[in-house]
Amino acid sequence: MIEGSEGVSRKGVLRYGMVGGGAGSFIGEVHRKAAAFDQKNKIVAGSFSRSYKNTKSTGRSLGIKEDRLYKTYQEMAELEGQREDPIDFVSIVTPNFLHYDIAKKFLENGINVVCDKPLTFTYEEAHELEKLAKDNELLFCVTYTYTGYPMVNHAKELVKNGKIGDIRVVIGEYSQDWLATLEEEKGNKQASWRTDPDKAGRANCVGDIGSHLENMVSFITGLKIDKLCANLDKFGEGRELDDNAEILVKYKGGATGVYWCSQVAVGHDNDLKVRIYGTKGSIEWEQENPNKLKLSYVDKPTEILTRGRDELYPKAAQLSRIPAGHPEGYFEAFAVIYQKFSEAVLDKKSGTSYSDLTIEFPTAKDGAQGVYFINKTVDSAEAGSKWIKF
């Protein structure tokens, strides 16, 4: 919707490129819609596929000029890095196994990065990216979508402001059923790479959705994991990676948690749910009904808060765009992540020094922590579901 000439970036509008997300990809279009949602970002470059034909047709349909459609991500990173009007950031939406190389390349060429999760295969790689971004004063966002919901941010503020007291118990669950049958044998592209260790890494279910649980709990509560004990199951016949997991968690300070994630839980679509119990109250939030929040107190009736109707903390309220009862969903949450990131990039461009930025979007550090969590979980499971120090 944006400016007339790509050569002059008006204040408030960023130009970005994308790696991955060509025809046949689901998540690429989601990223583009999310980036465009609040009219802060315009896509101007891309290397959408290993097939240059796909890149060109995808690029054309997005109105990208031919000279910024690249055959490889390497070429894209280098040439964009040399332009006078380079992209302000790149969005990496490829399968997991490519994240590290691509992100590294763009960082080395001075370009901010948005990357899907899980960030990398190993913690070392993730940490390296984190360090690389920091050293080059570049911004790095890992798209933990679900922390973009206003009510999740309100939950975080409720905890921070002591409304539920000291946290005792966390129950996190993320259940789906799309891998209850062997979809990978039926030509489902996503099922294929996610269940393939070469492309997904050491974990499937824990990597894909378990990591959201870790991030969500960490985001809302600020709790640090002290140790964990994980059971990983491979129910689909012949599967090499997990499709179901239960993880017992002890946090520093004494709180206890259980995370259950599953892709074989028949009847569940995308059922991310967190419940947090403190000494004074509790919070319950469900991703499939994201505009509400259940808030209970030791000594008062349980409340059902709704976005738009009830008074939210400013940090949460500002993320909401429409009145109560007009549901905001997945795209709007995703757009919040892009919005937060874009604002940080704009701040940086307008001279705010990197270290002064109040960075509130999920960063490479969060991404690295997620990779650490995934690996510790697999370590525990491989050791016979033993407790592992975090």
Which is closer to a copy of itself, CB of 94 or CB of 320?
320
Alpha carbon distance, N-terminus to C-terminus of the chain:
46
The Cα–Cα gap between 16 and 87 comes to 5
Ordered DSSP codes for 240-293 = SS-SEEEEEEEETTS-EEEEEEES--TT-SSEEEEEEEESSEEEEEETTSTTEE
Q: Alpha carbon of 293 to those of 180, 275, 333: distances in Å? A: 29, 10, 15
CB of 236 to a copy of itself, least distance (A): 10
CB of 208 to a copy of itself, least distance (A): 13
Which is closer to a copy of itself, CB of 263 or CB of 363?
263
Which is closer to a copy of itself, CB of 259 or CB of 361?
259
Residue with tokens 């004494």: 254
CB of 88 to a copy of itself, least distance (A): 15
Any idea what DSSP says for residue 186? T
The Cα–Cα gap between 248 and 236 comes to 23
The Cα–Cα gap between 138 and 189 comes to 33
Which is closer to a copy of itself, CB of 29 or CB of 108?
29
CB of 144 to a copy of itself, least distance (A): 14
CB of 270 to a copy of itself, least distance (A): 3
Angle between the N-to-C axes of helices 73-82 and 99-108, in degrees from 0 to 180, rounded to the nearest 10: 20
Which is closer to a copy of itself, CB of 248 or CB of 357?
248
Which is closer to a copy of itself, CB of 238 or CB of 323?
323
Which is closer to a copy of itself, CB of 79 or CB of 229?
229
CB of 45 to a copy of itself, least distance (A): 13
Give alpha helix (H) positions in 23-148. 27-37, 52-61, 73-82, 99-108, 123-135
Residue with tokens 């990197």: 354
**Encoding tokens for residue 95?**
């399968």
> In this structure, are residues 378 and 245 in contact, taking their beta carbons and an 8 Å threshold?
no
CB of 223 to a copy of itself, least distance (A): 15
